[in-house]
Amino acid sequence: MIRHSVRILGAVALAILLVSGIHATAQQQVPPAPATNAPAAQATPAAAADQPTPASAPSAPAPAAPVLPAPNPADFTAASPTKDVVNAFLRANWGYDDSRIFQVQAILKTPVEGISKVVVLTADRGGKNNQVQSLAFFVMPDGKHIIAGDQMINFGADPFAEVRQLVREKADGPYRGSASKDLELVEFADFQCPHCKEAQANMDKLVADFPKARIVFQNWPIASIHPASVQAAEYGLCVSKQGGSPAFFQFAAAVFDGQEGLASQDGATLTLNSAVVKAGLDPAKIAACAADPQVKAQVDASVELGAEVDIRQVPTLVVNGREVLANAPYDELKKIVEYQAKMDNVSLQ
């Protein structure tokens, strides 16, 4: 693994603020932040050895959720942001997870004019982890960004709005599903990335489970570690131009299936040409198209879009502006898509 998590925030308490809490791997261009182990879950006490439990006996009640200490009104000294805005921001990020409880504990003035410090407590509703975690971030004077660890992150009641609009305007890759962009899932991926290959099962399930979604493939090749990824992206773009989205996804599936062949130049040529044939197109025509400087410029523009929306690893899925690892456990990924659709008033029926 080259890097881990949706946004590296430097410490686990901050990382859980904006990350889905999902464990998955991703490929990136920079090294990871130091790993921090989360506290171990507490085990449920066992029944006494001299009192065997009948098979029909009721199960033990679930552990009670931790009680968060009441906030001190004296710890709310900053006029901005308001507690309502902070809560809306936390709900936008965490609301899909029924197991998490949280509480705004303080909104404090700092020595720097216009910058406020926000302190939040969070814990597990199910009591599996009875430790209450405290995390903090700093809200910038514009009220639209926070500093968490070493990252500046969009803030507000709808923190994903800016990225959502940018992706709607500029994501131009082939897509499956609806032409509507009301629920748009944009996968930034690299054909030579093994974690991207793993994510394709999730992407196929999303296509089946969300027929009203527009699910886009956006090239984000990492040439520094995957030398054949740029050529694969250029071929894919040309397949899309000549055969449309259906041909592209046939091509993409074949490239991911034969991904090991991309490890050498000769193998890459054979793998890509074979995938072109499986998509029903002529390899010679696709090769000629891929040699056009305009095609390279379009791939570069896709990479630039990823940089604009702060993509740092692949596979990343942007769900109406919200970033999550595309190879996360599918049940969690599906829950996030459903929650984001609800937040954006998008009907899935």
Rounded to an integer, what distance in angstroms lies between the CA atom of residue 157 and that of residue 163? 14
Q: 215-225 as b/e, with b when 16 or more CB fall inside 10 Å? A: bbbbbbbbbee
326: pLDDT strictly greater than 60: yes
- Domains in the chain, please, with CATH? 64-157 (no CATH), 162-343 (3.40.30.10)
Contact 73, 313 (CB under 8 A): no
Q: Out of 103-117, 127-141, 221-235, 301-315, which region has the weakest mean confidence (pLDDT)?
A: 127-141
Sign, CA torsion 250/254/259/262: negative
Kindly report the number of other CB atoms within 10 A of residue 3's CB atom. Answer: 17
**Tens digit of pLDDT for each residue in 197-220?**
999 999 999 999 999 999 999 999
Tell me: the pLDDT tens digits for 263-302? 999 999 999 999 999 999 999 999 999 999 999 999 999 9
Q: Tokens 């999550």 — which residue? A: 324
